[in-house]
């Protein structure tokens, strides 16, 4: 019965565009990695992580009676669509993935309900250690940049999670295949990577997306052309080479609008509130707000210093 349920959800996930599915036991031992990362202060000012730490370490607090955690991957573009100066992280170049995947997860929830399961579904939106469970479910391994890396597909993917009360057959983890490679660590503009984790206090993705305070001078000096997020560690990873990813289908909803590909930093620095809302209405970039985006652009490298409004 449970094998049939897993096969059904695998088939449905494939039809919905997910690139892989794996199952991990809900009560798998997560060790002290996350707790140590927080104790060291590497989460910076992201206090929402500490508020939900008990739930992240115990899925029973998220869904009572949970038995299995289904992890899925959904690929996003590997190529940078930007033609104007200013890098935007690949994952944020198209539509907001939270909304895109929420509808698909609702369909999978319905499939599992047919077999008697109760579910909670998330895509980077709930108190779940997604990368840990994705690795435990055999979808890949945690690389030196702290991201899930897959032998076929690399790290350019979203993770989605389904907690279910069904006890589904679990998949086996795969070995770490980073070997002696340290290219991601060497490529990081701010030296934020060490021991297979990322120190948010030094990470450009944190400062250009999550931070509530201005970018410190030391980080600003290393910002380069990063407008929103940073893909430096992914760009350097051999598992993300074009040869490894030549047959991967990309959802057209995740492609950047033509107008945004040519939007210059100078134009961004002068956007009105209404123009910002119109341009980024369906984008994950919208959530950081216009002042934060313009602060990211307010750099001598872009020729817009003190020009943001």
- Catalytic residue numbers read 124
User: What is the spatial distance between Cα 16 and Cα 199, in angstroms, rounded to a whole number?
Assistant: 34
Antiparallel, parallel or unpaired: β 193-194 and 148-149: unpaired
Q: Residue 109 and residue 85: Cα distance in Å, rounded?
A: 42
CB atoms within 10 A of CB 84: 15
What distances in angstroms separate CA 121 from CA 28, 157, 162, 178, 304, one per listed residue? 18, 17, 4, 30, 42
Task: In whole angstroms, give the CA distance from residue 296 to residue 215.
Answer: 8
Nearest in space to 71 (alpha carbons), one of 121, 3, 111, 31: 121
What DSSP string runs through 158-227? EEEEEEESS-PPPPPP-----TT--HHHHH-TT--EETTEE-GGG-HHIIIII-SSPPPHHHHHH-TTEE
Residue linked to tokens 């994952």: 91
CA dihedral 195, 53, 158, 224 (to 10 degrees): -50
Place of tokens 């985006």: 293
- Interhelix angle 97-114/2-15, rounded to 10 degrees, is 150
Helix (H/G/I), strand (E/B), else coil: 98 = helix
């Amino acid at each position: 019965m449970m094998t049939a349920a897993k096969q059904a959800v695998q088939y449905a996930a494939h039809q919905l565009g997910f690139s892989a599915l794996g199952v991990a036991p809900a009560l798998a031992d997560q060790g002290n990695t996350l707790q140590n990362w927080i104790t060291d202060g590497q989460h910076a000012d992201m206090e929402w992580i500490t508020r939900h730490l008990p739930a992240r370490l115990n899925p029973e607090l998220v869904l009572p009676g949970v038995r299995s955690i289904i992890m899925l991957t959904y690929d996003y573009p590997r190529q940078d669509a930007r033609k104007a100066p200013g890098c935007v992280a690949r994952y944020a170049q198209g539509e907001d993935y939270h909304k895109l995947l929420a509808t698909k997860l609702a369909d999978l929830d319905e499939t599992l309900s047919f077999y008697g399961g109760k579910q909670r579904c998330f895509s980077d939106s709930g108190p779940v250690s997604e990368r840990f469970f994705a690795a435990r479910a055999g979808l890949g391994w945690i690389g030196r940049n702290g991201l899930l890396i897959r032998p076929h597909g690399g790290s350019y993917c979203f993770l989605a999670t389904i907690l279910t009360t069904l006890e589904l057959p679990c998949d086996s983890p795969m070995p770490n295949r980073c070997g002696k490679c340290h290219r991601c660590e060497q490529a990081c503009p701010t030296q934020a990577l060490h021991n297979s984790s990322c120190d948010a206090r030094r990470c450009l993705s944190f400062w250009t997306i999550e931070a509530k305070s201005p970018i410190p001078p030391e980080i600003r000096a290393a910002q380069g052309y990063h407008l929103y997020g940073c893909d430096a560690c992914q760009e350097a990873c051999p598992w993300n080479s074009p040869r490894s990813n030549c047959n991967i289908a990309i959802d057209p909803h995740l492609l950047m609008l033509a107008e945004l590909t040519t939007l210059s930093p100078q134009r961004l620095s002068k956007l009105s509130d209404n123009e910002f809302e119109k341009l980024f209405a369906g984008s994950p970039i919208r959530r950081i707000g216009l002042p934060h985006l313009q602060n990211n652009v307010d750099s001598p490298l872009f020729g817009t210093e003190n020009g943001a409004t």
